[in-house]
Amino acid sequence: MGIVKAIGKAIGGGFADQWLEVYEADNMGDQTVFSRGVLMRQGQNKKGTEDTVSNGSIIHVYDNQFMLLVDGGKVVDYTAEPGYYKVDNSSMPSLFNGEFGETLKESFNRIKFGGQTPTSQKVFFINLQEIKGIKFGTRQPINYFDSFYNAELFLRAHGTYSIKVVNPLQFYAEVIPRNKDHVDIAEINEQYLSEFLEALQSAINQMSADGIRISYVSSKARELGQYMSKVLDEEWNQARGMEIQAVGLASVSYDEESQKLINMRNQGAMLSDPTVREGYVQGAVARGMEAAGSNANGAMAGFMGMGMGMNAAGNMMGAASATNLAQMQMQQGAAAQAAPIPSSQAKPEGWTCECGTTNTGKFCSNCGKPAPAPTNEWVCSCGTKNTGKFCSECGKPAPAGEWTCECGATNTGKFCSNCGKPRQ
């Protein structure tokens, strides 16, 4: 009692046309998970004329379909391979596992037909394509502790998810309602949606525990799907033969109190910058002056009122501005200290003593000899090289050019700009 493969692939033409009566799946849309087989005569749908598959009937299985030959609710035979199959009640079940390998045989042993050889059966089909576009939305806000804000926040999530049947026999036995000929996902989704939302809350809580900021949740759909798989796949796969394939977040929103806390925290972070605070203070002053100038009782009265208000407030805005400027100067000073030392203030380069030791101080670290005095060499117009203040050949004075102090600073005046020593 089973099926025999009549032809390996679903093809048209004369070979297939020799069978005038062929069973195929009834209308199977992208939201359909289960459908009965209907009799086709010469390409015409004979829906409703016969609901049994007798011995010798031909069954046509398309790609991404799983066919079950059923008698009295029990599975007689099945196939996961596309093609044409002939019902042969005198043969043993063929069990064409297809892409599912040997894993289906264990499930088959639990739900197979156990009575006498049947004379007629029904044929059903399970959709093996990914069932997409299953909508979800959180009924209540989900708590989310954000370590960045250091607060317990609450969010709502809306979107879609998809499932895929990974064990058709388990899916048929545990998910499909009895005496149903056609099942769309919406008809059976209420229970699974509740479980999905419970798993969604667990997954979002896990993202919180992993330190992901709440503002990043909407961009973490792939990671959320992985969290969901860990939570649901073991239960849904083993118990129902289906898995979560993907989770798409259409929107993530915060409840009113959480939005206020986030806005307050972000505003506080901005106002911690003295330049931003000073801009806010100056903007407030400008808006006050603009309002005073448009006073219906006259600009003078408006400015007088503004001045009285500022005096009554103890010139608070002026004090705030002074504080902001002081902090900005401190920041600039710190930046200046961190800047590299100019070359004019750099430490003098090393010098080599007669004993061969390289030094940076005024005396040799090996023999104690003093460092040689800087030469301050210059060339006179007569061509003579000199180190003193006058040319040794013609007596002309040295030009007022650059000279190097003992501290290493280069100068043009009579005194060193670094240590204050006079030019030698």
User: Domain residue spans in the chain?
Assistant: 2-127, 131-259, 276-331, 357-424
Q: Which helix (H) or strand (E) holds 68?
A: strand 65-71
Per-residue pLDDT of the chain (424 residues; tens, 9 = 90+): 577 877 655 444 444 455 557 889 998 889 999 999 988 864 454 544 455 777 888 899 999 999 999 887 788 888 989 999 988 877 777 777 777 776 676 677 666 655 555 556 889 999 999 999 999 888 888 888 888 878 888 888 888 889 999 999 999 988 999 888 999 999 988 888 888 888 888 888 888 888 888 878 877 777 777 777 777 777 788 888 998 888 887 877 877 887 787 777 666 655 555 564 555 555 555 565 556 556 556 555 555 555 555 554 445 555 555 665 665 566 566 555 555 555 444 444 577 888 888 888 778 888 888 887 666 677 787 888 877 777 888 878 777 667 778 787 877 777 787 887 877 6
The CATH superfamily assigned to 131-259 is Band 7 domain (3.30.479.30)
Using CA of residue 397, residue 399, residue 403, residue 405, what is the dihedral sign? positive
With 0-12 / 13-18 / 19 or more C-beta atoms within 10 angstroms meaning exposed / middle / buried, residue 414 is: exposed
Q: Is 175 left (phi over 0), alpha (psi -120 to 50) or beta?
A: alpha
User: What single DSSP character describes residue 59?
Assistant: E
Strands 21-25 and 58-61: parallel
Place of tokens 């050949």: 393
> Greatest CA span in the chain, whole angstroms?
136
Separation in Å, CA 75 to CA 127, 167, 181, 326, 403:
17, 14, 15, 84, 105
DSSP bridge pairs for 252: 157
**How far is the C-alpha of 260 from the C-alpha of 369, rounded, in Å?**
74
Structure tokens at 297: 């009782």
243 contacts 256 by C-beta, under 8 angstroms: no
Residue whose pair of structure tokens reads 């998970």 in the numeric block: 33
